[in-house]
Amino acid sequence: MNEETEKPMGPEPAESEGASVEISEKTPAEPPEGTQEEIREETPEERPAAAEGEAKAKRPRRRRRTFIAAALLLVLFLPLLTAETALRLNYTGDPAPGTHTRGRDALWLGHAWLDGRKTDKDVTALAHRLEGTGIRDLYVHSGPLEHDGTLPKSDYPKARWLISALHRELPGVRVQAWLGDKLASESPEGLHLERAATRSAVVASTRQILAAGFEGAHFDLEPLHSGDRDYLSLLDDLRTLTRAHHALLSVAAHQIDPLPAFHSFWKTTTGHPKWWSQSYFGQVARRVDQIAVMSYDTMQPLESLYGGYVAQQTSLALEVTPDTTDLLMGLPFYHENRFGHWAHAETVPAAVRGVRLGLSRTDADRPRFGVALYVDFAATEADWRAYREDWVE
């Protein structure tokens, strides 16, 4: 509210000689420059009318600002709303008959299996847990790699014992070394794939781990940006090595763009291009024996949206993965609540249903297909039950 101030009156004039001018006390002195209308005080009757006029003048400006803000929100959120609606629709319908395990599933195992914390009793219990399931491959955490690509032998002291015990209790199951490290793709610290010496060291570390008795090497290097040519070069070198040793080359893969070029948009807005293009996913898949999609940490807030997202990811991955490569879709066997992952939404039943729907719509009879369970030490009985009831049986 503007504070009203009283306008000063002019000084009372003095009588001048030879003139007799009668001036009433109520007569103001001559006003300063400007018109009388510009300086006179509004009457009480005029103030509401002036305020109303000013308010009317402001209304169109407010309406314009509101319209512009609404338009910007629409531009930002309409694509998101459309995409989320599509995911919900993706979760509808019935999976095709026969879209169950092909006996090519996998399980990620924590480092406790190699550092001495697990015993023969634990191996026996694991064998009972996996009996009658479709799990064929075990990815046992054997690293991480050092930032220069080397792998200390002290990281896997119980490797030979574990491999022997697992083969005894679970004949036919393949034991792979799970190797990974943080990449220096978004910060100076980490594994520098652009360095030829680092890539050579990773190949040497793989040769070393295969000599310890593992039947394959499973790599999880993050954050790995879409289009990284150095990663493809590393895979080419690793494939030459693993084939020479009759071993498997397996990788954990980022999710595929849910919208065209979404990784580029996300990189621009956050600096972290979480997704791969579908084309790049295909380039990776053609270089390996197995590719496991990390189809969790999806930022989806509802179970139906998450399931629809997994269905979409399954279809996108099937379209570009060659028939000679095993494609596995990750199941969330862990329960965290943080940005990017809500345990109430990312459930095993929703993921399995999404996998079956995507498989049904794209390549229902594909033989080289499975699911990968992440991770053994965080799994609950409900997770195992859902895997068995919804996917195995």
Residue 8's alpha-carbon distances to 5, 37, 46, 103, 246, in angstroms, are 9, 15, 20, 97, 103
Q: Select from 345, 313, 315, 314 the least CA-distant residue to 332.
A: 345
Residue 393 pLDDT: 86
Tell me what percent of the chain is helix, strand and coil, each rounded to the nearest 5.
45, 15, 40
Residue 20 pLDDT: 37
| Pairing mode of beta strands 326-332, 174-182 | unpaired
Whether the per-residue pLDDT at 14 is higher than 50: the answer is no
Residue bearing tokens 């009996």: 131
Whether the per-residue pLDDT at 367 is higher than 90: the answer is yes
Note the pLDDT tens digit of each residue in 35-61: 444 445 556 555 666 666 666 666 777
Whether the per-residue pLDDT at 223 is higher than 50: the answer is yes
pTM for the model stands at 0.80
Residue 120's alpha-carbon distances to 164, 169, 239, in angstroms, are 10, 10, 33
Q: Which stretch of 22-36, 95-109, 165-179, 286-300 has the lowest confidence by average pLDDT?
A: 22-36
How many Cα atoms sit within 13 Å of 81 on the Cβ side? 6
Instruction: Give percent of the chain above pLDDT 70.
Output: 79
**CA–CA distance, 32 with 228 (Å, rounded to integer):** 77
Residue 214 pLDDT: 98
Which residues are CB-contacts of 103 (< 8 A; sequence separation ≥ 6)? 134, 136, 370
Residue 293 pLDDT: 98
Please check whether residue 335 is in contact with residue 370, taking contact to mean a CB–CB distance below 8 angstroms. Answer: no
Whether the per-residue pLDDT at 140 is higher than 90: the answer is yes
Whether the per-residue pLDDT at 244 is higher than 60: the answer is yes
> Is the N-terminal amide bond of 310 cis, ω within 30° of 0?
no
Dig out the tokens for 293 from the structure: 């999609």
State the pLDDT confidence band at 84, using cuts at 50, 70 and 90: confident
Average pLDDT over residues 130-153: 98
Q: Select from 118, 216, 131, 219 the least CA-distant residue to 161.
A: 118
Note the pLDDT tens digit of each residue in 348-357: 999 999 999 9
Residue 338 pLDDT: 95
Which residues are CB-contacts of 264 (< 8 A; sequence separation ≥ 6)? 273
Q: Mark 15-31 as b/e (b = at least 16 C-beta within 10 Å).
A: eeeeeeeeeeeeeeeee
Mean pLDDT taken over the chain: 87
Whether the per-residue pLDDT at 205 is higher than 50: the answer is yes
Average pLDDT over residues 123-150: 98
Residue 38 pLDDT: 46
Whether the per-residue pLDDT at 12 is higher than 70: the answer is no
**CA–CA distance, 96 with 356 (Å, rounded to integer):** 7
Q: Which stretch of 71-80, 201-210, 288-297, 381-390 has the lowest confidence by average pLDDT?
A: 71-80
Note the pLDDT tens digit of each residue in 262-308: 666 655 666 677 899 999 999 999 999 999 999 999 999 999 999 99
Amino acid symbol at 277: S
Whether the per-residue pLDDT at 385 is higher than 90: the answer is yes
Please check whether residue 116 is in contact with residue 158, taking contact to mean a CB–CB distance below 8 angstroms. Answer: yes
Whether the per-residue pLDDT at 75 is higher than 80: the answer is no
Residue bearing tokens 């480092």: 111
Residue 57 pLDDT: 61
Residue 3 pLDDT: 42
Average pLDDT over residues 87-95: 95
**CA–CA distance, 50 with 112 (Å, rounded to integer):** 79
Residue 60 pLDDT: 74
Instruction: Give the three-state DSSP class for 358.
Output: helix
Amino acid symbol at 17: E
Average pLDDT over residues 251-267: 80
